[in-house]
Amino acid sequence: MTWILSGLLAAAALLPLAWIILRPAQAVDRAAADRALYRAQMAELERDRASGRLDEAAHAAALLEVQRRLLAVPEAAPARVGGRGPLLAGLVAVPVLAFAVYFLNGFPAMPSATFAERRDAEARDEALLAELRTRLQSMPPRAPQTRQGWLLLAEAERNRGRPAEAAAAYGEVLKIGFDPDLAAQRAQVLLEAGQLEEASAFLADALPRAPGHVGLRFLAGQVEAQAGRPAAARAAWQALLATAPDGAPWKGMVERRMQSLP
């Protein structure tokens, strides 16, 4: 029975790929597809908030992340979907290889991890992060490996839901070399951590170094909005819209955020 259910699940998972192979080829704009995905995610977040599955703080943090990704979507020319050969090979090869490997090494009756096992795994992860922090303190301050280590730590802390720790690690990365995209990441996690004064001070320092960066300018307005200064937020976003190129995909999102201001 387990193998039958596994086969049905595999078939269901591969149905979208089969549909892509069978339908006629169409021109695809990757940037447009990305924007559509992020708009769908924002709509889903609104539904989760309305149904009570997300509180206001969690909704605001998640919405800010999706909006940042929407702002970062580049303009791209349409590209045409290529041949179906690789897709057809994947449709056949993936389930065959997966079942072959699982048949040789799998154990369908294996029980799920217990609470103690999950707790031990969490403790191991914490130990690894602590070791990484210790090593970073002893590494050359401006070495490329040190920068990469701090960036790895920042992403790990962020993925574990610790924005304050992530902001501190991003700060170490930026000490080694300024990067406007990483500066926007740090400003965002400061906002997620509720550190509005720190985010405001950081953006005041970062914006003159990258005055045209859309993400930093948007977050400067977001800081003002979350701090209860709607007039300042509106002014920041109006200035951003005034310099937006024609057809900029993020203009509508900024306009909606302005309309939501009191």
So what's the pLDDT on residue 72? Answer: 75
So what's the pLDDT on residue 46? Answer: 84
- 181 lies in a domain? yes
What is the C-alpha to C-alpha distance for residues 247 and 24, in angstroms, rounded to an integer? 29
Residue 250 carries which DSSP code?
T
**Across all residues in the chain, what is the average pLDDT?**
81
- 60 lies in a domain? no
So what's the pLDDT on residue 58? Answer: 75
What phi and psi, each to the nearest 5 degrees, are found at residue 238?
-65, -40
Closest CA to 248 of 31, 27, 29: 31
Q: Which domain holds residue 233?
A: 115-262
Cβ–Cβ under 8 Å, residues 207 and 216 = yes
Domain count of the fold of the chain: 1
Cβ–Cβ under 8 Å, residues 222 and 244 = no
H or E element, residue 61: helix 56-72
- 212 lies in a domain? yes
pLDDT band at 43; cut points 50, 70, 90: confident
Neighbours of 188 (CB within 10 A): 25
So what's the pLDDT on residue 199? Answer: 96
So what's the pLDDT on residue 167? Answer: 96
So what's the pLDDT on residue 6? Answer: 64
Q: Which residue has the higher pLDDT, 52 or 200?
A: 200
Counted residue by residue, the chain has a size of 262
- 1 lies in a domain? no
Domain containing residue 256: CATH number: 1.25.40.10
Neighbours of 197 (CB within 10 A): 10
Question: What would the mean pLDDT of 177-194 be, rounded to a whole number?
Answer: 95
So what's the pLDDT on residue 146? Answer: 92
- 184 lies in a domain? yes
- 93 lies in a domain? no
What is the C-alpha to C-alpha distance for residues 61 and 58, in angstroms, rounded to an integer? 5
Q: Which residue has the higher pLDDT, 236 or 49?
A: 236
pTM of the model: 0.56
- 106 lies in a domain? no
Cβ–Cβ under 8 Å, residues 167 and 195 = yes
Closest CA to 251 of 67, 78, 77, 31: 67
pLDDT band at 114; cut points 50, 70, 90: low
What is the C-alpha to C-alpha distance for residues 84 and 26, in angstroms, rounded to an integer? 12
Closest CA to 178 of 205, 158, 201, 156: 205
Question: What would the mean pLDDT of 60-88 be, rounded to a whole number?
Answer: 67
Query: How does 120-135 read in b/e, with b if 16+ C-beta sit within 10 Å?
Result: eeeeeeeeebeebeee
So what's the pLDDT on residue 246? Answer: 86
So what's the pLDDT on residue 68? Answer: 78
Query: How does 22-36 read in b/e, with b if 16+ C-beta sit within 10 Å?
Result: eeeeeeeeeeeebbe
What phi and psi, each to the nearest 5 degrees, are found at residue 28?
-125, 130
Q: What percent of the chain has pLDDT over 70?
A: 72
- 88 lies in a domain? no
pLDDT in tens, 82-110: 555 666 666 667 677 776 776 666 666 66
